[in-house]
Amino acid sequence: MRTAKNATTSATEDTTGNPTDNAAGTAAASGGPTARTADGSPGAAGPGARGSRGRAPRTFEQANRRLKWAMLAPALAFVGLMIVFPLVFTLNLSFTDAFGAVNAGKNYVGAQNFLDALGDSRRFWPAVQRTVVFTVGAVVLETVLGLALAMLMRKPFRGMRWVRTVLIIPLLTTPVAIGILWLLILDPSNGIANHLLTSLGLPPQEFLGSVSQSLPTLMLIDVWQWTPMMTLLLLAGLTTLPEEPEEAALVDGAGGWQRFRYVILPMLGPTLATALVLRAVDALKTFDILYATKGAGGGSDFEAETLNVYAYGLTFDYQEYGLASAVLALFTLFIIGVVILLRRRTGRKTA
Amino acid sequence: MSPTVSSSVRRPDAGGGASADAGAGAGAVGTVPSPRPGRRRRGYGAWLRGIAIAAVTVVFALPIVWMFAAAFKTNVQVTDPTVGLWFSPTLDNFRSILETGQILRPMGNSLLVGVVSTVLSAIIAVPAAWAVGRFRMRRTGSLILVARIVPAISLLVPWYYLFAQAGMVGSYTVLVLSHMFVSVPLILWIMISFFEGLPVELEEAARTDGLSAFGAFWRITLPLAAPGTATASLLAFVFSWNNFMFALIFADERTQTVPVALFNFISYASTDWGGLMAASSLITVPVLLAAVLGQKYLVAGLTSGASKG
């Protein structure tokens, strides 16, 4: 195999016409220290040759340094053009009075939009409150239920495959379809949910038809849709845990709850933290279900209007691009804050 | 005991039933017997566990079952909650939505946008994931987190601004580009941890054998990464298929995707529950098929990177 390498190296050698390079090239290929001479020798050709021979590919990383950037370039270009540039654009818009037609002129108004948003107790602050309530309620329930279900499913059982298949269906089904489906199930007069409630002797509910019950109902729909995600994430974490500590605890006479609380839960910490962050970020940004079930503005009394729905309405219903950008900037900061907080509170991880 | 008989290579313990004691003994962890009351409880525990799992599964499955059932009901039956899951099915709902063409064209659009955006995303993201995973470029990798954190609407504003000025709103190009905002980071996220798990020695050996660095990636690593790429692409396609917000803004009547068509369907025909459920069922079938056939891979894809952060 070494000869094959030699052949390719000497083939490229011809372009430089430097005989000493041959030796250097071979040495470089074998990772020898003499590779330095290639750099030193005056005839060692142009930059093209340097990449392959000038630097000793002592390690895998050095050999692929160029390739690395070539492979990254398209993705970086995409991220730059489609994500970073638009974000800067939004940030810029947030300091302007952009409004109405997209090609209308705009003036810089300083921090006015931010002041307007932060001083708005009719739409902005209630939206913040709903976002927080929705996220905390949904994520806490999903974590508790998801963890319980993951513990149930931890040991293999017959039919596990099918249970997991059922669990991924809610997460993969189109959220708009799920929203419509729940509208049917929860229909105040004709839905199966109220039929079941009344047959159990419970009073029928308004669900999405009422101002006060909309947000809690949507939270429960979110719980139905995303608890499986929590379960699967935690289940993946549980299967990687070593068994010895639990066995030791068992031998020491620890009960089921004690083993869970003092052995499994601490070990599961990092997975739990990651799952919590992922879920919280997605819950904060929930849009499809809210918009599909309650429409623009989150309903007649804005009862399901979270920050995301509010920003959407500002942009595309009111064309208040400047104010919308300011709200989005604040929203993004808020999400980043939540991520930092969750990472700190749930313990630092090596990653 | 039957629902929970543990047949795995892992040593059965607490949940595994009576064999747990034998297992503990064989493991030479000591001669301390497990507490006597525990043995009895475990027998019931296994039953309870089976029942609990079955109950939870039903809770998650029932709404979807209800949706499919409603798709086969007449409009009278759909809004009559006393009609449960036993009724004589009709295909009228499917016939009507297919005849009016309300759903077929959007399905075609979604398929087109989903496939094109997923393929382009894979072409961009898989090599980048290799670079990030191979060279431990944690900082570059964490750029992806930005894409996951940023609310998509904050990109919609400038995209809309720019694409509207370019007169591109309503085109497939804009839909594909916007859907790539979701699929590029998703594929990167999954493939980075996949490449981190592939041994670097294979590529090094290929290099020693005379392949160029790119050749080693192309001929050795990429074929090995095929399962991961397939998983990531499948998920990317599903999320594109489901995407609502981007198409809501960027699609016009001609290019509207399935979720938007469904959403418009509510406003036009709020009482046609049968049609709505038939349309919902129709667009859920591909997802169901994916879930049943690729469960193992989809779960792996969805949870990848979670235990590492």
Contact A83 B135 (CB under 8 A): no
B279 shares a domain with B139: yes
The 10s digit of each residue's pLDDT in A72-123 is 888 888 888 888 888 898 888 889 888 877 777 778 888 888 988 888 888 8
B259 shares a domain with B175: yes
A229 interaction partners in chain B (CB closer than 8 Å): 302
What per-residue confidence (pLDDT) applies to B210?
Answer: 80
A247 interaction partners in chain B (CB closer than 8 Å): 13, 24, 27, 29
The region that residue B305 occupies, defined by phi over 0 for left and psi between -120 and 50 for alpha, beta otherwise, is left
What's the CATH code, domain A123-345? 1.10.3720.10
The 10s digit of each residue's pLDDT in A191-237 is 888 888 888 988 888 888 888 888 999 999 999 999 999 999 998 88
What per-residue confidence (pLDDT) applies to A255?
Answer: 81
Structural domain contains residue B85: no
B147 interaction partners in chain A (CB closer than 8 Å): 79, 83
pLDDT-wise least confident of A234-243, A293-302, B64-73: A293-302
A184 interaction partners in chain B (CB closer than 8 Å): 66-67, 70, 78, 273, 276-277
B118 shares a domain with B19: no
Structural domain contains residue B80: no
Q: How far apart are CA A144 and CA A227, in angstroms?
A: 9
pLDDT above 70 coverage of chain A, percent: 79
Q: Which residue has the tokens 């059932």?
A: B69
**E-only strand ranges, A255-297:** none
Interface test with A, best of B153, B214, B285 (most A CBs within 10 A): B153
pLDDT above 90 coverage of chain B, percent: 20
The 10s digit of each residue's pLDDT in B221-233 is 888 888 889 989 9
What per-residue confidence (pLDDT) applies to B193?
Answer: 84
B176 shares a domain with B31: no
B106 shares a domain with B52: no
* Shortest Cα–Cα distance, B60 to chain A (Å): 7
Closest residue to B16, CB basis, from A61, A155, A232:
A155
**Chain-centroid distance, C-alpha A185:** 30
Q: How far apart are CA A176 and CA B258, in angstroms?
A: 9
Structure tokens at A285: 């940004």
Q: How far apart are CA A74 and CA B187, in angstroms?
A: 14
Structural domain contains residue B130: yes
B137 shares a domain with B189: yes
Contact B158 A271 (CB under 8 A): no
* Residue ranges covered by each domain of chain A: 2-62, 66-113, 123-345
A278 interaction partners in chain B (CB closer than 8 Å): 148, 306
Q: Calculate helix-pair angle for B172-197, B153-165, nearest 10 degrees.
A: 140
**A22: enclosing H helix or E strand:** helix A19-29
> How many structural domains are present in chain B?
2
* Shortest Cα–Cα distance, B69 to chain A (Å): 11
Cα Rg of chain A (Å, integer):
30
B102 shares a domain with B67: no
B178 shares a domain with B243: yes
B243 shares a domain with B166: yes
* Shortest Cα–Cα distance, A262 to chain B (Å): 16
Structure tokens at B290: 């994916």
Q: Are B233 and B118 in contact (CB under 8 A)?
A: yes
Q: What is the CATH number of the domain that holds B141?
A: 1.10.3720.10
Contact A250 B24 (CB under 8 A): yes
Chain B residue at shortest CA distance from A189: B79
B167 interaction partners in chain A (CB closer than 8 Å): none
Which residues span the domain enclosing B53? Answer: 2-71
Number of CB atoms found within 10 A of residue B228's CB: 23
A159-168 mean pLDDT: 89
B70-80 mean pLDDT: 83
Q: Residues 146 to 185 of A: which have CB under 8 A from any B CB?
A: 149, 152-159, 161-178, 180-185
Q: How far apart are CA A16 and CA A21, in angstroms?
A: 8
Structural domain contains residue B87: no
Residue A141 reports pLDDT greater than 90: yes
* Shortest Cα–Cα distance, B106 to chain A (Å): 14
Counting every residue written for chain B, the total comes to 309
Chain B residue at shortest CA distance from A287: B245
| A229 and B CB contact within 8 Å | yes
**List of long-range contacts for B208-216, beta carbons under 8 Å, 24+ apart:** B208/A1, B208/A5, B209/A1, B209/A4, B210/A1, B210/A4, B210/A5, B210/A8, B213/A63, B213/A64, B213/A66, B213/A67, B214/A67, B214/A70
The region that residue A99 occupies, defined by phi over 0 for left and psi between -120 and 50 for alpha, beta otherwise, is beta
Q: How far apart are CA A83 and CA B146, in angstroms?
A: 9
Structural domain contains residue B288: yes
B291-308 mean pLDDT: 78
Interface test with A, best of B56, B59, B64, B277 (most A CBs within 10 A): B56
Structural domain contains residue B78: no
B292-308 mean pLDDT: 78
Structural domain contains residue B120: yes
DSSP per-residue codes, chain B: -GGG---SSSPP-GGG-THHHHHHHHTTS-SPPPPHHHHHHHHHHHHHHHHHHHHHHHHHHHHHHHHHHHHTS-HHHHT-TT--S-S----HHHHHHHHTTTTHHHHHHHHHHHHHHHHHHHHHHHHHHHHHHHTT-HHHHHHHHHHHHS-THHHHHHHHHHHHHTT-TTSHHHHHHHHHHHHHHHHHHHHHHHHHHS-THHHHHHHHTT--HHHIIIIIIHHHTHHHHHHHHHHHHHHHHH--HHHHHH--TTT--HHHHHHHHHHH-TT-HHHHHHHHHHHHHHHHHHHHHSHHHHHHHHHTTTTT-
ipTM > 0.90? no
Which residue from A283, A282, A301, A304 is spatially nearest to A293, judged by alpha carbons?
A304
| A299 and B CB contact within 8 Å | no
* A96 phi, psi to nearest 5 deg: -120, 170
Q: Residues 305 to 334 of A: which have CB under 8 A from any B CB?
A: 307-308, 311-312, 315-316, 321, 324-325, 328-329, 331-332
Closest residue to B6, CB basis, from A93, A155, A194:
A155
A281 interaction partners in chain B (CB closer than 8 Å): 148-149
Comparing A57 with A261, the larger pLDDT belongs to A261
Structural domain contains residue B192: yes
B177 shares a domain with B60: no
Within 8 A by CB and 6+ apart from A350, the residues are none
* Shortest Cα–Cα distance, A122 to chain B (Å): 21
The 10s digit of each residue's pLDDT in B134-193 is 877 777 777 777 777 888 888 888 888 788 888 888 889 999 999 998 899 889 888 988
* DSSP reduced 3-state for A214: helix
What per-residue confidence (pLDDT) applies to A60?
Answer: 59
| A341 and B CB contact within 8 Å | no
Contact A224 B63 (CB under 8 A): yes
Letter string b/e over residues A86-107, b meaning 16 or more CB atoms within 10 A of that residue's CB: bbebbbebbbbbbeeeeeeebe
B241-249 mean pLDDT: 90
B269 shares a domain with B204: yes
Q: How far apart are CA A105 and CA A90, in angstroms?
A: 16
Closest residue to A281, CB basis, from B15, B35, B148:
B148
B67 shares a domain with B102: no
B24 interaction partners in chain A (CB closer than 8 Å): 247, 250-251
Closest residue to A78, CB basis, from B14, B35, B184:
B184
Q: How far is CA A96 from CA A81, A93, A102, A294, B104, in A?
A: 22, 5, 13, 31, 43
Which residue from B280, B277, B283 is spatially nearest to B241, judged by alpha carbons?
B283
Contact B295 A191 (CB under 8 A): no
